[in-house]
Amino acid sequence: MNFELTKEYVTMIVTAIGQQDGAQLKSELDELFPPDIANLLYELDGSQAHYLLQLVDTEIGAEILSNIDADERTALLKDHFTSEEIAQYVDLLDSDDAVDLLNEQPIQVREEVIALLEDRDQARFILDLLHYPDDVAGGLMQKELIKVNASSTVSECVEEIRRQAEEVEKVYAVYVVDDDQKLLGIVSLKQIVLARKNTRIGNIVTDDIVFVETTRSGEEVAELMQRYDLDAIPVVNVQGRLLGRITIDDMVDFITEKAEEDLQAISGITGEAEEDDSVWELAKARLPWLVVGVVGSLMGATVIKQFENELSQMAALAAFIPIMGSTGGNVGIQTSSLIVQSLAEKSGITTGLGQRLLKISTVAALNGLIIGSLAGLYVYLIGEPQLFWVVFTSLLAVVVLASFMGTITPLLLDKVGINPAIASGPFITTANDLVGISTYFGIAHVLLHL
């Protein structure tokens, strides 16, 4: 069923909650998937969401909570759920999702929930994962997986799959380890089905596999999974012992979150801002780069003021100030976006800086010649032929300089450990406004002898 959340539906649910009509609500919820119920909870207040979650099976409730945005979930659990209630859900979550949920809670609640868990293996898994940062392989992995010893037979492996699969939601392959739990390789389900039941797993194992260490960054893991088209990737420690795995659904969540952060950075928004945040939080997120933009504009005004004499002698110069700033900003954004993309992918043969600058400069020169010619022709046709070479030369120089800055800035930021996506936002635009205006008036001063 393709569920569509409407105002009428929300009103009906709220009315049923107000009337404590559990039978009607259970009937409605039985028709929905957990992600649909999660979207419904966004439209309810905390007490209403709490009541609704009590009506569904605990296993379904756990899946619903795993689909709720972290900020919304934190507020909901903090204000309306006891540690005992949270523990019931955490018991049923994948270990990585459980850790994400617990990391959002105060330390006291976190410790209470872990102590209350009935599944002590789950508690141990959570404690193993809690000390990893959430943006490295150790923090992204889940402990649930199926593994067998290389000395096991296919028949024994099948029994082990049956036993372990109760705790593992998605089975992509079976990991093969030795007596020291070191990862030796994987065996696909197809290999297991086709092999004779007395065949040793060590004889059919595929040892040429891709794996990551716990300290590898999430971006590197994503790049590896994309390059080799993996549904899951095993995680090992420095001794090569198998600790867990990262599945494609968890990696998609990580990539989506990083993409949202990069998009906000490119837009000049610091931190994590959501539409339903407070007025002050939204203003604070936007303010830093707005200040940078204002400072840049004031500096641009100062540059223009330095050329008052030129403007007084030829007022037509003022008409072409906007095109210089906007062209430089646009070119800078285009160039830096390509550089940021190449830095993010980090795949293939790395192009040297000199070769990269030569190629970008050639492209910029070609674009500058075309843009400058079009603008110069327009200037000539509107009756300002004396400005043809000023506008033509200025646009050519602006495009080349903006391309250079759009290339160098993200590379420098990446070298010093700053998110290069930031370079594609107001910083590049503001800097190129100054470059465009300064270049324009400098060329006008030289060519027109003002």
Which whole number is the average pLDDT over 351-362? 77
Segments of the chain assigned to CATH 3.10.580.10: 147-260
Per-residue pLDDT at 2 exceeds 90? no
> What pTM value is reported for the model?
0.63
Segments of the chain assigned to CATH 1.10.357.20: 279-448
* Top-tier CATH class for 147-260: alpha beta
| 405/349: higher pLDDT | 405
Per-residue pLDDT at 291 exceeds 80? no
Per-residue pLDDT at 284 exceeds 70? no
What is the number of alpha carbons within 13 Å of residue 258 lying toward its C-beta?
A: 18
Segments of the chain assigned to CATH 1.25.60.10: 7-135
* CB-CB contact of 427 with 295 (8 Å): no
CA geometry: angle 250, 255, 256, nearest 5 deg: 95
Per-residue pLDDT at 110 exceeds 70? yes
Q: In whole angstroms, how far apart are CA 205 and each of 4, 27, 259?
A: 47, 48, 37
Per-residue pLDDT at 59 exceeds 80? yes
Per-residue pLDDT at 410 exceeds 90? no
Which whole number is the average pLDDT over 380-385? 86
28 Cβ partners below 8 Å, 6+ apart? Answer: 12, 13, 16
| Six token digits for residue 230 | 């993996």
Homologous superfamily of 7-135 in CATH? Answer: MgtE N-terminal domain-like (1.25.60.10)
Q: 279-448 in CATH: which number?
A: 1.10.357.20
Q: In whole angstroms, how far apart are CA 89 and each of 71, 112, 434?
A: 18, 14, 56
Q: In whole angstroms, how far apart are CA 107 and each of 83, 104, 111, 241?
A: 12, 9, 6, 30
> Which residue from 231, 57, 257 is spatially nearest to 145, judged by alpha carbons?
231
Per-residue pLDDT at 27 exceeds 60? yes
d(CA 173, CA 158): 12
d(CA 201, CA 175): 10
> Which residue from 417, 174, 424, 400 is spatially nearest to 289, judged by alpha carbons?
424
Burial tier of 53 (Cβ tally within 10 Å: 0-12, 13-18, 19+): buried
Q: Which of 30-44, 219-233, 288-302 has the lowest mean pLDDT?
A: 288-302
With tokens 């009315």, the residue in question is 15
Quote the pLDDT of residue 348.
Answer: 46
Which whole number is the average pLDDT over 6-23? 91
pLDDT band at 423 (very low <50, low <70, confident <90, very high): low
Per-residue pLDDT at 271 exceeds 60? no
Quote the pLDDT of residue 428.
Answer: 73
d(CA 90, CA 101): 8
Q: What percent of the chain has pLDDT over 70?
A: 88
d(CA 25, CA 162): 36
Quote the pLDDT of residue 445.
Answer: 83
Per-residue pLDDT at 33 exceeds 80? yes
* pLDDT tens-digit map of 154-207: 999 999 888 877 778 788 889 999 999 999 999 998 999 899 989 999 999 998
Q: What percent of the chain has pLDDT over 90?
A: 37
d(CA 153, CA 196): 9
296 Cβ partners below 8 Å, 6+ apart? Answer: 426, 429, 430, 431, 433, 434
* pLDDT tens-digit map of 316-351: 788 888 888 788 878 887 887 777 777 766 544 456
Quote the pLDDT of residue 421.
Answer: 64
Residue type for 330, please? N
Q: Which residues pair with 246 in a beta bridge?
A: 233
Q: How high is the mean pLDDT of the chain?
A: 84
